[in-house]
Chains A and B, each alone.
Chain A
Amino acid sequence: MKKWNIVAMAAVLAVAAGTFGGVYAAEKLKVGFIYVGPIGDLGWSYQHDVGRKAMENALGDKVETTFLENVPEGADAERAIEQLARTGHKLIFTTSFGFMDATLKVANKYPNVFFEHATGFKRANNMSTYAARFYEGRYIQGQIAAKMSKTGVLGYIVSFPIPEVISNINATMLGAQSVNPNMKVKIIWVNSWFDPGKEADAAKALIDQGADVLTQHTDSPAATQIAEQRGIHSFGESSDMIKFGPHAQLTADTDYWGDYYTKRAQAVLDGKWKSEDTWGGLDSGMVVMAPYTNMPDDVKKMAMDTQAAIKSGTLHPFKCPITDQDGKTVECKGGTHLDPGQILSMNFYVKGIDDKIPGK
């Protein structure tokens, strides 16, 4: 992925040139965003950019935003983040798990700049974390999948074995098992967030091996398109992909960051920004389910009831007891359900998943 490094470097230089060359009104708050993919990925980075624009709309003249897309995780990320910090950005959002250490390093160097890192767990006085409880939506998807599948096999296309991906697989299966205890899942790792061709190949392989509902933790609509072609069902990821699977998509677990970004920028403007850990779900509007489509009314009703129950807090996808795939009961640190720390660092499969976490 060398080329992306070079693209990102060029972008950094362009930002630097633009900043030093222009004169800006001093009171405007400069807000920077670091994206791991292109804003046109229709998924993860796209949704963050939707959030950025929503913040711009809400706060108007009071803010000015810059974004860097295609920033590779790792050493280059540090350079990109530091570049934003050095060029007068007072609030910087880094929107991928792999930016965690780089963000922390730069945050320590620039104590007067506020940092916000998505989906991570390291914080500092000037570094907050924020994430969305996608697993809530995954649980609903699991229930729908179990109702809709005739073969009882769910196909799951995944990127990298990080805790968020693992906990989402588990939530999906816990949901599915609540409807059909014998539901099976087949998992293919494509080792990329973003390779439409490979995602399509994986989707075909899963269908050939009996899956008749597909879900994914990768970013392109390729799998949904294959599901449409083959006449089976699928779930969109990160953004609504109904356009690519008008007869296939059941719903999509989408994230909406606009309200959060607006709130945080407003906090900086008011001088009230504090280091926090925000984990929003269906209740706070950070996780939004795309319309329930292509399913009978009773399945739709079940999905909506589950959604309401999760929203009101009466149902927790990781409610205890939870048994791991080896039959051991997982310690219940959150009282009636697993605590956030356990979910954010999840590194085991729940019972009923006949597979192994790569590298474990």
Chain B
Amino acid sequence: MLESLIEILQLIFSVSFILTVVTASTPLLLAASGELVVERAGVLNLGVEGMMIVGAACGFAGAYMSGSVFVGALCGILAGAALAAIFGILTLGLAVNQVATGLALTILGVGLSGLIGARFVGEKIVPAARLDLPFLTGMPVVGRILFGEDAFVYVSMALMIAIWLFLYRTRAGLVLRAVGDNHASAHALGYPVLRIRMLAVLFGGACAGLAGAYLPLAYTPFFIPGMTSGRGWIALALVVFASWRPGRLVVGAYLFGAVSILGLALQPLRLGVPQQLMNMLPYLATVVVLVLISRTRGTAGSAAPASLGMVFVPDR
């Protein structure tokens, strides 16, 4: 018993385990952070998976043709934003149902990415380089973890800080939250509700595109149709898990990544726990945390933006 415990602790605190967790969590964090801003503006875009997979296809295509991971990432961002623009025009401009449009966006994205990516299947690229600073990266243990990641990891962290600062420390962020909580009042005060929401939707699409591009550019450097394997849906769940707060989102994304890697890495240790249960762990953990959050909140009501998913048509 004690022996297994030591084995597990050794595993969890090994550099390699932490690096694997960071790699697995980064696409979730990127996609979820964009969706968080979208939902704080009151829009529910369920098309994250679709925007991600198109970002993956375009990201790989861009990197393959240009030979540059940076160009690839840019293509992924633009592709995600382009798909989000379709969503924005339909749901904001034409006031179409957001849930249905979001689901349609996912189906469209899966098909579109297969089409775009078809001729790149079986090709390979040089993946995103990992940071290598003299002295710093060479430091024992923390060196590789803090200073040896690829650029996407640092971008995802910087993005989270920027989103937090934007939402809670700027006037524009305050307006965006107001639009999400009560679009009628924000409109009455003279804020351009639809324009703000459109910008948020585009930002969310760009983040999802970047998250998708991370998969073939850094995680597994090749493109295969359907390679997002449901990560977009997990990102959506994470936003709820985080109760729409950036700080909790970071914790949630890394926790989810860590538990899912643990579910794999613990199997060969033969702890007598069924592997099916191990693979359930991340989802089980999500449910547990959701229950805990809703309990501690008490009577304060739902944490969701009050106007989330509601259609807004300015009447004058």
A-to-B contact residues, CB < 8 Å? 1, 3-4, 6-7, 10, 37-38, 40-42, 70, 186-192, 194-202, 204-206, 208-209, 220-222, 225, 243-244, 354-356, 358-359
Name the CB-closest residue of A to B49: A3
Of A192, A220, A358, the residue contacting B220 (CB under 8 A) is A220
B185 proximal to A (CB < 8 A): no
Report the separation of the CA atoms of residues A37 and B225 in the bound assembly, to the nearest whole angstrom. Answer: 9
Complex interface: chain B residues within 8 A of A359 (CB): 274, 276
B107 pairs with A42, CB closer than 8 A = no
Name the CB-closest residue of B to A38: B225
Complex interface: chain B residues within 8 A of A192 (CB): 229
Complex interface: chain B residues within 8 A of A194 (CB): 224, 226, 229
B17 proximal to A (CB < 8 A): yes
B229 pairs with A198, CB closer than 8 A = yes
Complex interface: chain B residues within 8 A of A205 (CB): 17, 20, 261, 264-265, 268
B110 pairs with A190, CB closer than 8 A = no
B-to-A contact residues, CB < 8 Å? 11, 14, 16-17, 20, 23-24, 27, 49, 106-107, 110-111, 114, 117-118, 121-122, 124, 215, 219-222, 224-227, 229-231, 260-261, 264-265, 267-270, 274-276, 279
Known: A7-B107, A7-B110, A7-B111. A221 touches B222 (CB 8 A): yes
Complex interface: chain A residues within 8 A of B224 (CB): 38, 40-42, 194, 196, 220
B118 pairs with A200, CB closer than 8 A = no
CB distance from A194 to the nearest CB of B (A): 7
Report the separation of the CA atoms of residues A198 and B230 in the bound assembly, to the nearest whole angstrom. Answer: 12
Name the CB-closest residue of A to B121: A40
Name the CB-closest residue of A to B107: A6
CB distance from B18 to the nearest CB of A (A): 11
A201 pairs with B222, CB closer than 8 A = no
CB distance from A347 to the nearest CB of B (A): 16
Complex interface: chain B residues within 8 A of A186 (CB): 268
Complex interface: chain B residues within 8 A of A197 (CB): 24, 27, 215, 219-220, 227, 229, 231
CB distance from B8 to the nearest CB of A (A): 12
Name the CB-closest residue of A to B53: A3
A358 pairs with B275, CB closer than 8 A = yes
Of B225, B227, B265, the residue contacting A208 (CB under 8 A) is B265
CB distance from A202 to the nearest CB of B (A): 5
A243 pairs with B16, CB closer than 8 A = no
Report the separation of the CA atoms of residues A39 and B8 in the bound assembly, to the nearest whole angstrom. Answer: 39
Report the separation of the CA atoms of residues A204 and B229 in the bound assembly, to the nearest whole angstrom. Answer: 19
CB distance from B265 to the nearest CB of A (A): 4
Report the separation of the CA atoms of residues A191 and B122 in the bound assembly, to the nearest whole angstrom. Answer: 24
A201 pairs with B226, CB closer than 8 A = no
Q: Which 7 A-B pairs have the closest CB atoms?
A: A40-B121, A186-B268, A205-B265, A38-B225, A195-B229, A196-B220, A222-B220
Known: A196-B224, A205-B20, A208-B17. A42 touches B229 (CB 8 A): no
Instruction: List 29 A-B pairs, Cβ < 8 Å.
Output: A38-B114, A40-B117, A41-B225, A42-B121, A42-B122, A187-B267, A187-B268, A188-B265, A189-B275, A189-B279, A190-B279, A191-B275, A194-B224, A196-B220, A196-B224, A197-B24, A197-B27, A197-B231, A198-B260, A200-B220, A201-B261, A208-B11, A208-B265, A209-B11, A220-B227, A243-B122, A243-B124, A244-B124, A359-B274
Complex interface: chain A residues within 8 A of B260 (CB): 198, 201
Complex interface: chain B residues within 8 A of A70 (CB): 226
